[in-house]
Structure formats: C-alpha cells, structure tokens
Structure 1
Amino acid sequence: MTETVETLFDQGIERYQAGESPETLLPLFKEVCERSPKSSPAWTCLAWLYLLDNKPSQALKAAQKAVKLNPQDPQARVNLAVAMLETAKTGVREHVEIAEQLIMAVPELREEVKKNCEDGLSRKPNWKGLIRVQNWLFGS
C-alpha cells in the first residue's frame, strides 16, 4: 500500500522532531516534493534539510520553489536568504525584509521562525548564515 503524500510529510516532520539526521530525511522529502510539486511546505522543509546537510546549492533551488509557491511564508524566505548567503548570491536583504514584515504582522509566525532558528542552531552550531539572518530578524 502506497502512503499518501500527507502521511509521508507528517512522518518526515515527526522523524525530524525526534532528532533524525537531515541526511536520512532528505530522500523522504525529495519524494514528497516529486509527488506533490506544488507543496510549498514540502519545498521549505527540503531546503532546510539541504541547508543543515551543507548543500546550499540544492537548498537554494528548493527554497526558490518554496517562495515562488508561497511568497507569504516567512520560513521559506529565511531559508532562501540563508541559502543565498551560503552561495554568495546577491539580493538577500529583500527576502529578509519581507520575512521581517511577515513575522511582525503575525505573532504566531514570529514564534515559529524564532523556534526554527533556535532548532537549526542546536543541530548545526555556529551556522554563520542562519546566525546573520536571525540577528537581522530578531536583533543580536
């Protein structure tokens, strides 16, 4: 029996939250993105996992898709900004400013992005790109 895309996605999130490594979760989220190519949350997660796994070029592509599918998702913007920093692309400020506007408007989004930044730094300490974006969004 084939599992639904939603089930796979939820299992991936649970496994991530349980501490499973990005490296082992990447194939699952790649499959979710292949089976549901218009799912912004799936592309956002895939970009995050690529960033955690030190694959900024792949992260950049996934984050660009996530932002294209849902320009109002601040986490997708954060992922894109971090990937751009790590691949030495220009235009980072625009995405950080949009993310900042979105998290200022919706307190729940602010808390979610803040929590995700903290999670990222707990999994990958001294993550320069994320630290820079976090400082821009929340102050140092």
Structure 2
Amino acid sequence: MDALDQQLISLLRRDARMSVANLAHKLTVSRGTITNRINKLEKQGVIVGYAVQLRPDAIPNNIRAWMSIVVAGNETRVVVASLLGEPGVACLHDTNGRWDLLAELRAENLSQLSDVLERIRLIRGIQTSETSIHLASYR
C-alpha cells in the first residue's frame, strides 16, 4: 500500500459512505483512480467490509492497544461521544464487570500512542483507565 491507499482508507474509516467523487476531490485524484484503488483493496482483502474493516496485518507498522475505562457517575454519553470523535479510537465497546468501556486504540508508533492516551485522559467523565498494548493474535 502506498500513501494514497492509506489516505483513502483513512477517509473511508471516517465515513464509509463517502462518494467516489468526494473522495477523489479530497485526495485530488480522478474518480477512476479512486474506483480502481477501492477495487484493488477489496480484491486484495485489505477492505473486507463496510463500514470499512481492515485486516490487522494490513497496516504493518500499526500499534494496537486496548484501553479499559471506568466512567464517573452519569457521564457515559459524554465520554462515548468524545471517544467516538477521537481519531486514535478504532473501536469502542460497552462492557460489564470492572470496566464500563473497552476502546481499541491504533497508532503508527509509541509517540503517537502516547499522544492518543494523553488526549483520552483529558476527557471529562473518565474516572480511571488501564491500557495494554496488543502484542499478538492467536486466532
């Protein structure tokens, strides 16, 4: 994948329903280029569904981490809305037990992950959190 593929994927992850014309305009390339790139990414299995879901190994230099979050009081809606607006949050799950939310985080490097963690820790309504870096998947 080259830089254009990565930019295209980034836009589709934010809005998988964005039109080819709008994608082409944002990336300053032709609609045909966008269509060809999307078809190639689908054929290679990089894009496996819509909303766009990427294979974990499709972006080799990507760091994945899991953040378990306890929400203070009745702040769940505010916290969820803030986390959904955070670009470093790939997925957000409601859960039971010790933690209220589980966020899958993505970053290109440890410095970027540190920035994501810092932004999340500043969100009003997060009482406590614990983060673990994803090392390997077995299935």
Same fold (TM over 0.5): no
TM-score (ref. length: structure 1): 0.29
Higher-strand-fraction structure: 2
TM-score (ref. length: structure 2): 0.29
Structure showing greater radius of gyration is 2
Higher relative contact order (CA 8 A, sep 6+): 2
Higher-helix-fraction structure: 1
